[in-house]
């Protein structure tokens, strides 16, 4: 079964095209190096995980341990299309798909029945990354597919690579793939990753033959340029 979606399966003429990212920032943020240096130490992020989130994550860990399969994480999975396709393709992995929006996750039900190797979680991503790191989850790869770019210059601290959780994000898995439709986000993410891991990380233009989700297809149909950062730590 094909992991990706044929455009004719996803797109209809009624769908609205997506506007390109607009920003008052035209290059890598001038404060990025200072912020990254501040966040480089893993021990500096000590925000507690709430009791309810801890309960859900513990139950998820027990489910993962029963499956005894390596993990693929879809971080910010939205309505679940990409996660479902990953689960159908990668049947020898457990797919953990996370989003903080109950509204977005409620749309997953239209895809029932779901693959048995797929777990959906409503949670904040920093809680997931912190818990996964502390409990040594066997995460083979994480996908960050088109996260909110927060493109205004004054919004730097809301981007994942400028968040104090970034060292845990990078440390919790063997490999990581970011996709975005804003080049500056990709460049910043690659710069921070290279700084933290001390290895070369590149940004590549991305033109998928078969988009993995409606979002990716919509960006392509709207004429957006797409970018990909693939971080391989186990080579």
Task: Write the pLDDT tens digit of every residue in 131-158.
Answer: 999 999 999 999 999 999 999 999 999 9
- Is the pLDDT score of 193 beyond 90? yes
- Band (pLDDT 50/70/90 cuts) for residue 44 is confident
Q: 68-232 has which fold? A: Rossmann fold (3.40.50)
21: tokens are: 């990212």
The larger pLDDT score, comparing residue 111 to residue 5, is at 111
pLDDT band at 16; cut points 50, 70, 90: low
Token pair, residue 81, equals: 């299309």
Whether residue 24 is predicted with pLDDT greater than 90 in this model: the reply is: yes
Residue 150: CB atoms within 10 A of its CB come to 17
**Token digits of residue 48:** 């507690």
- Phi then psi for 62, rounded to 5 degrees? -65, -40
């Amino acid at each position: 079964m094909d992991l990706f979606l044929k455009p004719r399966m996803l797109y209809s003429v009624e769908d609205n095209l997506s506007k390109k990212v607009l920003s008052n920032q035209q290059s890598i943020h001038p404060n990025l190096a200072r912020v990254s240096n501040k966040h480089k130490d893993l021990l500096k992020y000590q925000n507690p995980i709430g009791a309810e989130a801890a309960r859900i994550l513990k139950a998820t860990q027990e489910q993962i341990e029963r499956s005894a399969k390596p993990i693929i994480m879809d971080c910010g999975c939205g309505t679940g299309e990409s996660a479902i396709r990953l689960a159908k393709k990668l049947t020898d992995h457990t797919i953990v798909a996370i989003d903080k929006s109950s509204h977005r996750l409620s749309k997953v039900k239209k895809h029932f029945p779901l693959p048995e190797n797929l777990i959906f979680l409503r949670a904040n991503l920093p809680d997931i990354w912190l818990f996964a790191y502390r409990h040594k989850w066997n995460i083979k790869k994480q996908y960050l597919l088109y996260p909110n770019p927060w493109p205004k210059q004054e919004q730097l601290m809301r981007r994942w690579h400028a968040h104090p959780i970034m060292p845990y994000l990078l440390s919790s898995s063997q490999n990581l793939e970011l996709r975005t439709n804003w080049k500056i986000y990709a460049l910043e993410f690659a710069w921070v990753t290279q700084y933290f891991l001390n290895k070369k990380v590149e940004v590549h233009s991305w033109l998928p033959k078969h988009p993995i989700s409606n979002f990716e297809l919509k960006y392509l149909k709207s004429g957006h340029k797409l970018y990909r950062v693939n971080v391989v730590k186990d080579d």
